[in-house]
Structures are given as C-alpha cells and as structure tokens.
Structure 1
Amino acid sequence: MRYAGPSRHVWVEEVMGMPVSIHVRSRRDRPARGADAAVRECFEELRDIDRVFSTYRPDSDVSRIRAGELSIDDADPRVAVVAADCRLATVTTAGLFSAYWRGWFDPTGYVKGWAVENAARRHLAPLVEDDIAVGINAGGDLQLFTAVGADWHWTVGIADPRETGKVLATLDVADGAVATSGTAERGRHIIDPRTGRPATSVLSATVVADSLACADLWATTSVVAGFDDRSWVAHAGTRTGVVLSPDGRVFRWLGPTTVEVVPAAR
C-alpha cells in the first residue's frame, strides 16, 4: 500500500501463520479512543478462529473432524457456518472450489478471507466513525474501510511476480477487499478439485470485491479455472481484477464484463 495525507498508525502481529497488519488513518496525531482495544480484539478473534480451523493443530475442531473425533454439528458453531458457505461456493463456482476435494472437510481455501473479513467488520469498521480509514492486511489480502464523505482512498499495488519490486497495476479502493492467489510465491499449492492435480496456467490472480471472503474465493477459483476460462467472471459478483499467465498474458475485467486481454510482450 501507499499512504499520504492523514496520520498513520500501524499494528503488526503474527497470526494464522502469517503477518497481519492493521492500519488506521486518523485526523489527529493519535487514533480515536478505543482503537487500541479494537485492534487487540480483532487479533484475538483471528487467533481464536485459527484455534478452531487450523489444519496444522491436531487439537483444532477441523483436525478432530478429519480424524473422526468430532462432527461438524458438534463443533464450534462457526464451523457449521463455514461448511454451509463452502457448500454454496461449490455450487456457485460450478465445482472449481471444494472443501472436500481431499475426501474430508478442509475449508482452507475459504476460511482465511472469511475470518479476516468478519473480524475486521466486527472490530475495525466502527473505527471509521471517528477516524478517516482503517484496513487490515493479512498476508497480502486486504479488507478496507473509509468514512462516508472522507476524501481518502487506499492505493493498492499489485506486484508483478516475474520481477521483484515491479508493480503490475495499481488500484484505488475506498471500501472493499482485495485478494491475490497464484503459483508465483508458494508454487503449485492450489489444487483443481475436479482432477486432484495442481492448477498451473495462472501465475497470479488479484480480485477486488466488496467482501474479502468473496475476493479470496474468486482469486483462488480463477487460478483453478485457468487463464483461458473467463466464463466465471459474469456471475462472480466481483468489481474488477487482473489475471496473469506464466507466458505474460494478462486479462482484466470490470464488473461482469471482461474488459481487456493483453497478449504477452514480444
């Protein structure tokens, strides 16, 4: 992100195995009263969600469900909420997303965006009543809020994974979410649930939506769909985005319409 203008206040902690930073833009030298408590509660909620959903902790609800020690109905109530969301996402994406592709319940591809968005809306969004803007950055995925009538927007740079320090595009967002997925940084970790094989035809996909749960879901879905399948754009409910192929082709869209496909530079 790039910042200019109002005073900036930042908190950073390691949560859910990644750096999470919370940014407040204030009209004063200090953020509004209650900001420190709200930030602390947001981090605490994210840690509690990780306790329930982590696939790396053997005592988490999700791990116990996988082991057959616990049912979804008997788990933390948030598990049933996420499970229902995942079932709907499977239908909405026509099978490009599935929380059951391994043969057991694993909502990893959905729960991060859902968790960050919900914690941010509960604890951080109210801060804009007194401050100008507040945002959360969870491993590069953003949920952003700006006060009504404020002359402010967040400028978000989309990194070009082919060249360190290079920016593929910039986006101005007042209220909304930005999520990025792909194979550039973590390798072939995104699996096509239809085949059980890694999705490899998208290097990076960045999606902007109202909701981080939505942006995160469709960023991952676009990687699974592949660069040449853009049929999902029309019904995804996203605002805009940029998808980059390994050979340098780019496609961008606005709303339900594919705006531009740029061939690889020669």
Structure 2
Amino acid sequence: MRHLELVMGIPMSVDVRGALDEQAERAAVRDAFDRMHDADRRFSRFQPGSEVSRYDDGVDASTDLREVLDIAARFGDLSGGAFSVRRPDGTLDTDGVVKGWAAQRAADTLTAAGLTTFCLNAGGDVVVRGEPEPGRGWNVGVRDPDDPDAFLTVLEVRDGAVATSGTYERGEHVWDGRTGQAATGLRAATVVAADLTTADVLATCVLALGLDGIAWAAQHGAAAVLAVDADGELVTAVQAAPA
C-alpha cells in the first residue's frame, strides 16, 4: 500500500509492505497522517493560534511542546549553543525539531498498529522498518546539492532513519545560535540515526556547526554523517564502534 499527501506544506508518503488486512493498514496510515497534521496545526509559527505562536504570550506549554523544547534544549547544550529554536529576532521556531519528531511519532503509530515493514518519507527525511524484500534494506537516496536529479549516494537502511538539512532549496535558513548569523560552512548535511527525531535535529546541528559538526554528530547519536562543504567536497564520518 502506498499513500501520499501534503503535510506541513511538503509531500509526505508511506510505502507499506504489510502483514495486516487492507482495512487495518488504511486505518493505521490515516492515524499516522492525522498525527502529523495535528503537529502542523499545533507547532506552526505561521498560524497565530498555534501553541508555538502563543507560547511567548505566556500560554502554558502542553506536554508535547515541553517535550519538543526539552529536545531542543538538550541539543542546544550538546552543540554549545549552535542549535537553537530561537530565531535571531528572538521568536520561537521549533521547525528544526518538529518535522522529524512528528514523523517519528507517525512511524511509531504504524509500528504500534502491527506494521513491521514500511518506509515513511517526510519531504526527503525518511524512517524505515524491516526489509522490503528478504535480505535487502530500503534504498534511501542522498541528493546531490548541485543536481536535483542526481544522488551523491544511495544508502541501504533497515530499522533506522535518514535526514538531510541543506541550503540548496530554501537558501541559508539555518542559523548558528552562537552568533545569530546564517550557517554557511556547509551546503548540505545528511545524518543516519536510529530514529528520525535524532537524525533530523543532528542534521540541523551539523549545518549550524559547519565542518566541526561532522565528527561531533558521530559522537552524539549519528551512525553516519555525509556532508558537502562550501567547495562542493564530500566529507563523511561514522560512529565509532564501542570498545
């Protein structure tokens, strides 16, 4: 079963290779997408009535918003302040956490419903479970920043997540929280991790930290990091094996 719709203004899709009957699969997918739509309504900084928009007006944070802010605070501390959900003008912007967090919760919803084999693609950030065919993982392409029709590489992933942050589509939209300036040291950063919340936040951290963030991410939850520097060179790092 395949399903596609717009969430958060971007195409999100799921490919289920399921063991459930069709009606149960459709119900699980609908629940997962409803959760992502709910996150969009609650965390969009473009909607005046959203929780994020009202938070600075003194409205108490919900359990979910506190969770998102706690994730942001933890990675802000780990990155020495490079990662921040406060924009340079001081406004709250949880986009660096929420997409991956919401998509991971959607994936957890599918798993809780009994689905064991699927690929959830949230605008290019991907979480997968199982194998689409015995002995083969899911293929996840990493886009070439210079060519939207070309891949730097194709990763084979089982039970993990891949997220990319870059400047090639939205321009210099990631800032270094330490300086308030746009992050310009890298053109793109891709992180492989166990879950999409971690992969998404770490990809943004790497972009904010620049070249120093590549090895840093491999020490803070990334199984692998691929980044393209300002000169177009590919730089990689992998998580060190436990002693």
Residue identity matched to 2:128: L
Please tell me whether residue 53 in structure 1 is matched to residue 52 in structure 2.
no
User: Which deviates more from structure 2 when the two are superposed, residues 213-222 or residues 119-128?
Assistant: 119-128
Q: CA offsets per residue over residues 24-63 of structure 1, 9 Å max, x none?
A: 1247xx9655110000001111111111111111110110
Q: Which residue of 1 aligns with 2:171?
A: 187
Report the alpha carbon displacement of residue 124 of structure 1 after superposing the two structures with TM: 4.2
Report the alpha carbon displacement of residue 231 of structure 1 after superposing the two structures with TM: 4.4
Please tell me whether residue 21 in structure 1 is matched to residue 13 in structure 2.
yes
Total equivalences in the alignment: 240
Please tell me whether residue 120 in structure 1 is matched to residue 107 in structure 2.
yes
Once residues 10 and 165 of structure 2 are traced to their aligned partners in structure 1, the CA distance between those partners, rounded to angstroms, is 15
Given that residues 204 and 245 in structure 1 are in contact (C-alpha distance below 8 angstroms), is that contact kept between their aligned partners in structure 2?
Answer: yes
Given that residues 31 and 109 in structure 2 are in contact (C-alpha distance below 8 angstroms), is that contact kept between their aligned partners in structure 1?
Answer: no
Q: Which residue of 1 aligns with 2:72?
A: 86
Given that residues 237 and 256 in structure 1 are in contact (C-alpha distance below 8 angstroms), is that contact kept between their aligned partners in structure 2?
Answer: no
Given that residues 125 and 134 in structure 1 are in contact (C-alpha distance below 8 angstroms), is that contact kept between their aligned partners in structure 2?
Answer: no
**3-state SS in 2 of match to 1:34:** helix
**3-state SS in 1 of match to 2:148:** coil
Residue identity matched to 1:136: L
Q: CA offsets per residue over residues 153-188 of structure 1, 9 Å max, x none?
A: 101111111123221111100110000001111111
Q: Which residue of 2 aligns with 1:159?
A: 143
**3-state SS in 2 of match to 1:165:** strand
Please tell me whether residue 136 in structure 1 is matched to residue 126 in structure 2.
no
Match of 1:204 among 163, 188, 199: 188
**3-state SS in 1 of match to 2:211:** coil
Report the alpha carbon displacement of residue 93 of structure 1 after superposing the two structures with TM: 1.8
Q: Which residue of 2 aligns with 1:95?
A: 81
Residue identity matched to 1:221: C
**3-state SS in 2 of match to 1:12:** strand
Structure 1: gaps spanning 5 or more residues:
1-8, 258-266
TM-score relative to the length of structure 2:
0.90
138 and 230 in structure 1: CA distance in 2 versus 1, 3 angstrom threshold = closer
230 and 158 in structure 1: CA distance in 2 versus 1, 3 angstrom threshold = closer
Please tell me whether residue 35 in structure 1 is matched to residue 25 in structure 2.
yes
TM-score relative to the length of structure 1:
0.83
Given that residues 65 and 71 in structure 1 are in contact (C-alpha distance below 8 angstroms), is that contact kept between their aligned partners in structure 2?
Answer: yes
Q: CA offsets per residue over residues 60-112 of structure 1, 9 Å max, x none?
A: 0110113x15132xxx3211111122111111222121123442432221111
Once residues 69 and 118 of structure 1 are traced to their aligned partners in structure 2, the CA distance between those partners, rounded to angstroms, is 27
Once residues 79 and 233 of structure 1 are traced to their aligned partners in structure 2, the CA distance between those partners, rounded to angstroms, is 24
Q: CA offsets per residue over residues 207-246 of structure 1, 9 Å max, x none?
A: 1000101111111111111125544134211111210013
Superposition RMSD in Å: 2.3
Residue identity matched to 2:145: P
Q: Which residue of 2 aligns with 1:109?
A: 96
* Percent identity of equivalent pairs: 36
Once residues 28 and 214 of structure 2 are traced to their aligned partners in structure 1, the CA distance between those partners, rounded to angstroms, is 40
Report the alpha carbon displacement of residue 250 of structure 1 after superposing the two structures with TM: 1.2
Once residues 135 and 91 of structure 2 are traced to their aligned partners in structure 1, the CA distance between those partners, rounded to angstroms, is 47
Once residues 222 and 31 of structure 1 are traced to their aligned partners in structure 2, the CA distance between those partners, rounded to angstroms, is 41
Once residues 55 and 104 of structure 2 are traced to their aligned partners in structure 1, the CA distance between those partners, rounded to angstroms, is 24
12 and 31 in structure 1: CA distance in 2 versus 1, 3 angstrom threshold = farther
Q: Which residue of 1 aligns with 2:161?
A: 177
Structure 2: gaps spanning 5 or more residues:
none
